[in-house]
Amino acid sequence: MDRLDRKILRILQEDSTLAVADLAKKVGLSTTPCWRRIQKMEEDGVIRRRVALLDPVKVNTKVTVFVSIRTASHSIEWLKRFSEVVVDFPEVVEFYRMSGDVDYLLRVVVPDIGSYDAFYKRLIAKIEIRDVSSAFAMEQIKYTTELPLDYMVLDNQKSGED
C-alpha cells in the first residue's frame, strides 16, 4: 500500500458513493488502476465492508448510555455466556473488555431513559451481573467511522505528496 491507496481510503471512508472514474480523477489515476486498487484492498480485507449510516434521531435511538461493568471473580463459563448475551442485544453497538478499574464497557443506544431501563431489565434477566454503573451521554459532539490513516504502514516509494 502506498500513498495513492491511502488517498483512496481517505475518500472512501468519507463517501463510498463516488463513481470510480471520479474517485480516480481525484487521486490522479485513470479508472482501471484505481478500480483494481480498490478491488485489491477489498480482497486484502483493508476495506471490510460498505454500509449505510443512519441518523440516530430519525430511527429513534438518540440516547447513548455507557455501561461499566465490574465482574470481580467469575467462572470462564460465566464470562463466555456474558459475552454471548450482551453481543446479541442490538442496542449494544460497542462492547469492550477493559484493563484497569472497569472490566467491561458497553455503548448502548436507545430512544430514552425509560427504554434504557427496559433494556437493563432484559439484560439482567438473561444473566446475573454484579456491579453495573450507567453513564448517560448528554451530547454526541463527534462520532465518526473514519479511522486515522496517518499511522498506516506504506511500502514507501512512489508518487504523491498527501
Partner DNA sequence: TGTATAACGAAAAATCATTTCGAAAGGACT
Partner DNA sequence: AGTCCTTTCGAAATGATTTTTCGTTATACA
Site for its own copies, rule CB under 8 A: 9, 12-17, 44-56, 58-61, 64, 66, 83, 86-87, 90-102, 105, 109-111, 115, 135-153
Burial class, 88, CB count within 10 angstroms (exposed 0-12 / middle 13-18 / buried 19+): exposed
Applying CB under 7 A, the span of 33-41, 44-52, 56-64, 141-149 interacting with DNA comes to 33-41
Question: Whole-number minimum distance, CB 82 to DNA, in Å?
Answer: 40
Q: State the Rg of the chain over Cα.
A: 21
Number of Cβ atoms within 10 Å of the Cβ of 132: 15
Beta bridge partners of 66: 107, 135
CB of 21 or CB of 124, closer to DNA: 21
CB of 73 or CB of 157, closer to DNA: 157
| Contact call for residue 13 and DNA (CB under 7 A) | no
Beta bridge partners of 70: 131
Applying CB under 7 A, the span of 35-43, 69-77, 109-117, 140-148 interacting with DNA comes to 35-43
* Residue 49 grid cell: 465492508
